[in-house]
Structure 1
Amino acid sequence: MEASLDIDARSNGGKLRKLAQTKATSVMLTLLKDAKAADIPAKYVLFDTWFCSPSSLLQVKDIGYDVIGMVKKSDKIHFRYNGRMQSAPAIFRAAKKRRGRSSYLLSVEAEAIKGNQAIPVKLVFVRNRNNRQDYLILVSTDVNLSEEEIIQTYGKRWNIEVFFKMCKSYLKLGKESRTMSYDAMTAHVSVVLARYMLLSLEQRRKVDKRSIGELFYISCDELQDLQYMDALFMVLKKLVSMITEKWLFLENELNTMLDSFLENLPNVWHNYLNRCA
């Protein structure tokens, strides 16, 4: 859609029109920079194969985010591995795979290179659950993550697909409005997203117990502490029972032994005992 001369380019409408005429990869970088400037808390950007290229990995890393994405099995996308530029499928063919029923087939550290810039990346080759003879390639710019963490984190991207499915199939994102006006289409999309947020919030309140927020985590910690203390008192109770059954001690002697035992416990146990005293 051509930009309208009646719209001020400095307005939100003008900026949106400009983004609509820009390549998707450039729009992605612009939105990430806006998110970074707004201090939106995020550590990782999740990509599908559409955006995942060495150039994108380097640019997102420069913005301040790490990337976990899926690499296209193409001979045109190369990483530096063992001193040579190789495609991900070539690396997979040359490297030794893991045996057994591992959660991944292969994991290697390589470098993503664009021009004179290079960053270390970890390539994780995962068996395709839909086709056991096939594999998928995940890449992470955070090489300190374990392979399991990379796989689990990338799995969260599926929530995005669920979001699109919900908006298109149930909230009528593509069918409710037939307008050709750019502003009307933008307003319609905003209304659909507002519906989704309201429904998600209501679901969290009625179904998801984590909606209580910080209280949820405090309750979990308290529950763990109670289990911990129950186990400790069971141990002490069993100790006293064994002593009284096998040996005859005066009450004072028994109390002295228990006090000596408690004094030699680690500090963390002392803190729990003092809290319950």
Structure 2
Amino acid sequence: MGIPVGISACVLGQKVRFDGGHKRNRFADEELSEFFDFKPVCPEVGIGMTVPRPTIRLQDNGDRIALVGSKDHDLDYTDQMIEFADNQIPSFEHLRGYIVCAKSPTCGMERVKLYLDNGNSVPGGSVGIFTQRLIARMPWLPIEEDGRLQDPVLRENFIFRIYALDDLYRSVADGVTRDSIIKFHSRYKLCLMAHDPQSYRILGPFVSDIHKWDDLNAFFIEYRQLFMDALKQRASRKNNTNVLMHIQGYFKRDLDKPQKAELRDVIMRYREGLLPLIAPLTLINHHLTVHPDSYLADQAYLELYPESLKLRYAL
């Protein structure tokens, strides 16, 4: 079974849009489908709207943002959409991520056009009604728009967070225990250093104090949110370089002088933008094969997701 991930049905190629068409995302449909078990949802069809159908939009009515007909503003679908979302979202607890359709008044994640009564739009826009409810109910869940998946940095961060959340759930599949949390957190120390050093410093003591919690399920909920918030920060070239130099220190007794110089040179060339992140990681994994280290071998940073996705080739 693949990793369960929600997705706007039109992004998966289903012809459910207002004009009877779709917004198929090739990367999601052809490449991610090999690893993810997609759960397609079209909120507009979900509330009974036909295909094709009249267009809808977000309208700022002063007291609330409404989902109304683009031509007939008296057609108000707001309450129906909120009810649909609130009924559906509890069944999403098993999901590890969600891909939504950009610009959609129901599914858009950001900058969705928000209109005023005079026909002008509000600068910055808003969030689709359905996705807004999803974010509010499941703030730890990785959510990304289909269009933003074209950006290699955003794509890598989103997919990494999906795999990390899946790993977290698998780690506590038999129940939340102090040992399972400590072991999981240990595997992600280098990832946290790369993504958010401040959260790395906060989460360490937080996990160390797990013995003070009587309710481990409550601890898990708090930890999940802090952990996923930290990973949402994209790993910078500077932070990745610091992590790579930290890893290099584990080989100081194993590598000879030329090998150390080579590794340092590859890391510095990555830092300067001359090489992708995959270059120093490949060399590090080679040295790890020759000189095994149990701590490094267990680090998620060195193998976050299937290599065939080639996510680190453009970083």
Q: TM-score, normalised by structure 2?
A: 0.22
Q: TM-score, normalised by structure 1?
A: 0.24
